Amino acid sequence: MKQIVCILLFCVLSFAGQAQSLTVEYNIGYGTYDMADMKRTIKEADIQLKNVKVTDNFPGYLTQDFRIGVAWKRHHTGLLLTYMNTAGKKGVSDYSGYCYSEIRNKGYKLGAFYRFSLTNAEATPFSLHPYLQFSAGTVLNRVVANDILYLNASSVAGSRKSTELSGANFFIEPAVGCKFYFCRYAALNLSVGYEWDAVRKLHLATDKDAQATIDADWSGLRLQAGIICYIPLLTKK
Amino acid sequence: MKSGIVVYLLAGMLLLFGCEYELGDNPIDIEKPDGEIEMGGMLTSENAGDKIIVSDEGTLIRFNMTASGRKIVSCTFAFGDKKWEFFDANGEFFISEDDLSDGSYELVCEIKALSGSGSIADQAGVEGYVGSLKWPVQVISYKEPEHSLTYKINADRYLELSWKKPDMKGLVFDNYSIYFSDHILQITDPDSLSYVVHSYVGQSASYQVNLNFKDGRSWVLGSLYLEQESPEITVDRSAADSITFRFQSKYKSVVSVYCESSWLVENSDKDMLRIPYEIFGTSDKEMSFYFKPYRPEDRQNWISVGLSQIIPVSKGIRLSPIWYASGYGYDVKENRLYGNYNNMIYSWSLPECTLHKTLEISDWNGVNTFTSSAYGNQVAAFRNDAIDLLEGRSLTKLITIHPEQSMMYIGPSAFIKEDRLLCFATGYSSGCKGFVYRTDDGSVERSFDVPKEFYDVYSAGLSVDGRYLMGQSGWTFYSLTIGEQGVSAVRTLEMQSDINGWCMDTRNPEQVYLSLDGKIGLYNCRDLSLVKSFSYPGMMVGNVDPSTGYLLLRNVDTIKIIDPQTNTVLHTEQVENWETCYLYGNVLLSRSGCALNLKDQLKR
């Protein structure tokens, strides 16, 4: 995984010599997640109580995306950092206490992106620039599973069991989008894409050799909107 | 300006990074129970009444608890330091008698029941009601008392069982049970602590006394096993005309005596029984003595002590231990009788007939006849294949003579030459022959043939001095004179009828008695001339008592003892039919081993 990141960094930096401007970008978005193993796990969680049901089944949720890059001519490339999280829960609660099993997944995407503008027009204010984008990198997983029984009236009854998993996925994400320039230094960014986690691995956080039988599959639709700030690197003469 | 924008962006991202997906909840609306519920329970045990009684090994207690329909999750019983916890509404546990000493206690049960609300806590078993129930418990050690059963023979000579009354610890007395071998007797008076067993007469018996209570409890107060104690039976033959049996039993009883398919006496409470002697030579009889309970009502179950004894019933005494004598030997000098039974030779002192000595001989070939020395103490015991020379006083073997071939000795023999030689005649298939053996080394001194006409004799013998060999064959009687060279003269005596008996006069080797047709004749051996004769119709000669010279005459069932000198009958005795009798030292002997001392009767 480290080798892949290094290769991407090398590619990005190799274009830096030609860069016209440095870009800083923030996007907020919405992502859906496959999480097939996780859904099955939460569904099958063994809770010997009546009225238990799955309240959360790893739904899609907000994503936070931060990128820095360089842009020149019709090209735009850089590094990305994205934060995703979702969770599943099955349980019940009443006046006497509660009992549930939950799995909370967090994914930290580290990768590189490349955009190719479909138009050759200049980035003038209020101009629209559609583009194609390809991203790849790794997703650093952090999965915490808790089984909790809490009884109000009892000081001794109740239990809590917590398991923490970690691991890294490899993803690729093709996308299409467009930039709407407010001015020469800022543009509104919209994109839609699909992330596919080609490689998925989880293990006990405390023991890398203890491979988990489930994985965290972040594959799913990615919708993003954000702002790109351009910092010129070359002054036009 | 630009750096400010970047700072704001980064701050916004950090805030957004902290924004995690918020999980939902699944609240269930359930009514919370409150208040108390009624709890109850029922205990059952072997001794459950107003209170639980723990006794014997302990008490098994079964419980069934209720909590107004709620599910009971645990019942915890506490009794002293002991605790039993059950996770069910019913069950059983055992309170051991060893848990606590005697006294009153309380059995406490703490019941936990679920609320039944269906809440998580209810389902987890931590929401519910707690109640407590109590029962009084009495611990009583009902250990069986020490066995106290004893017995004695009371003043009336009955077996008396007695026992001690134990501490009944509040148990309700029902009865004392006495277990006999075939029935059970119950005594309902709790203060009756003894029982007289009238039926016990000394038989092997076992008794057990139990103390039974109304609740079915039974304590063993003791058991008793009595070995058979046979009454003593003594046979007194001191009376002249009868045998007296004396019975001595520890226990009061009656006696019945059974002999040869009839009862001599039945259920007699006398301690003695007298029966007359039977005629001389009568075989011993088996008598059975049955000792039965004294009271007739106790004789229902054939309880008795039975003893069987072989009792000599013949007049006189028995020459113990022989039962049949093939022949007797008699040493007139020592007044000693010799006899043989099985592989033993016995000697008795006469006239008391007390056993003097015994000698085991090498094999089972019995002694056919004995010959005593007229000079010393030597006795020759003739067996089929050997002759044992014995020292009579000590009854020890001196030497065994083994003739060259098995012989049949045909009559009395003689020690001659002051016991240095033993002279005897034999008969066998090739004829009749006389032998003279040396007594010091058992070698043959000489032998001699006898005339052929002598071969037919079936009864023959030597005179005590060895000078005459006499024999009888049908109507003919022979007398051979024996010299150093063998037979020197032959005399024959033809009679008018069959000679039914003859015997030599051991006090006078020159004379021999013959009997035929009731006539007894005394003849001279040298020429078979008649010396004198007597008339005793139906009688034949038996033998001459070497000690007195009295002549024994006999027929089928009677003997007569006469003095040949005076021809007077000294004694007449009825004897068992066909019993062969002898007279030695004034003692009448039968082959069956009976002896009758006639010393007083034969006094002149």
- State CA A88 to chain mean position distance: 17
Q: What is the mean pLDDT of residues B395-410?
A: 79
Distance of CA B195 to CAs B204, B229, B300, Å?
18, 20, 19
Per residue in A4-17, pLDDT (tens digit) is 556 655 655 565 55
Task: Establish if B27 touches chain A: CB-CB under 8 angstroms.
Answer: yes
Averaged confidence pLDDT in chain A: 89
CB spacing of B23 vs A53 below 8 angstroms: no
Q: Give phi and psi for A97, each to the nearest 5.
A: 155, -165
Per residue in B341-386, pLDDT (tens digit) is 888 899 999 998 999 999 988 766 678 888 988 888 899 998 877 8
Q: What is the mean pLDDT of residues B409-433?
A: 79
pLDDT of residue A10: 60
Distance of CA B545 to CAs A54, B391, B503, B533, B558, Å?
137, 22, 11, 18, 17
Say whether pLDDT at B45 is over 80: no
Chain A hits for B130, Cβ within 8 Å: none
Say whether pLDDT at A57 is over 90: yes
CB spacing of B120 vs A92 below 8 angstroms: yes
Say whether pLDDT at B449 is over 90: no
Tell me the sheet residues that pair with B397.
Answer: B390
Strand order of the β-sheet with B150-153 is B150-153, B159-162, B194-197
Averaged confidence pLDDT in chain B: 87
Q: What is the mean pLDDT of residues B512-520?
A: 91
Chain A hits for B27, Cβ within 8 Å: 92-94
pLDDT of residue B604: 65
Please tell me which residue, B143 or B443, carries the higher pLDDT value.
Answer: B443
Confidence of residue A172 (pLDDT cuts 50, 70, 90): very high
pLDDT of residue B255: 93
Task: Establish if B120 touches chain A: CB-CB under 8 angstroms.
Answer: yes
Reduce the secondary structure of B530-592 to three states and give it as a string. EEEEEECCCCEEEEECCCCCCEEEECCCEEEEEECCCCEEEEEEEECCCCCEEEECCEEEECC
Distance from CA of B40 to the nearest CA of A (A): 25
Chain B hits for A149, Cβ within 8 Å: 120, 124
Say whether pLDDT at B549 is over 50: yes
Per residue in B495-505, pLDDT (tens digit) is 888 888 999 98
The C-alpha atoms of residue A5 and residue A10 are separated, in whole angstroms, by: 9
Per residue in B144-165, pLDDT (tens digit) is 888 889 999 999 999 999 999 9
CB spacing of A151 vs B124 below 8 angstroms: yes
The C-alpha atoms of residue A220 and residue A99 are separated, in whole angstroms, by: 31
Q: What is the mean pLDDT of residues B390-403?
A: 90
Q: Angle CA(A111)–CA(A116)–CA(A121) in degrees, nearest 5?
A: 145
Distance from CA of A213 to the nearest CA of B (A): 24
Say whether pLDDT at A48 is over 70: yes
Tell me the sheet residues that pair with B573.
Answer: B559
Say whether pLDDT at B585 is over 80: yes
The C-alpha atoms of residue B25 and residue B36 are separated, in whole angstroms, by: 32
Please tell me which residue, B128 or B222, carries the higher pLDDT value.
Answer: B222
SS3 of chain B: helix, strand, coil, percent, to 5: 5, 50, 45
Residue from A95, A146, A156 to probe the interface with B (highest B Cβ count within 10 Å): A95
pLDDT of residue A237: 42
CB spacing of A157 vs B24 below 8 angstroms: no
Say whether pLDDT at B475 is over 80: yes
Residue partners of A104: CB distance under 8 A and separation at least 6: A85, A87, A143, A144, A145, A146, B20, B21, B23
Q: What is the mean pLDDT of residues A30-44?
A: 94
Per residue in A208-229, pLDDT (tens digit) is 999 999 999 999 999 999 999 9
Confidence of residue B55 (pLDDT cuts 50, 70, 90): confident
Give the pTM: 0.55
Residue from B8, B22, B26, B29 to probe the interface with A (highest A Cβ count within 10 Å): B26
Size of interface A-B (CB pairs under 8 A): 101
Q: What is the mean pLDDT of residues A94-112?
A: 94
Closest CA to B546 of B509, B507, B514: B507
> Looking at the partner chain, which of A28, A59, A104 has a beta carbon nearest the beta carbon of B16?
A28
Q: Give phi and psi for A15, each to the nearest 5.
A: -90, -10
Strand, coil or helix: what is B407?
A: coil
Distance from CA of A50 to the nearest CA of B (A): 8
Per residue in B268-295, pLDDT (tens digit) is 999 999 999 999 999 889 999 999 999 9
Interface of A with B (CB under 8 A): 24, 26, 28, 48-53, 55-56, 59, 61-62, 64, 66, 83, 85-87, 89, 91-100, 102, 104, 106, 149, 151-154, 157, 229, 231
- State CA B290 to chain mean position distance: 16
Q: Give phi and psi for A157, each to the nearest 5.
A: -70, 155
Q: What is the mean pLDDT of residues A163-172?
A: 95
Per residue in B206-245, pLDDT (tens digit) is 999 999 999 888 999 999 999 998 899 999 988 888 999 9
Q: What is the mean pLDDT of residues B76-87?
A: 89
Tokens 């034949």 correspond to what residue? Answer: B540
Distance from CA of B29 to the nearest CA of A (A): 6
CB spacing of B120 vs A49 below 8 angstroms: yes
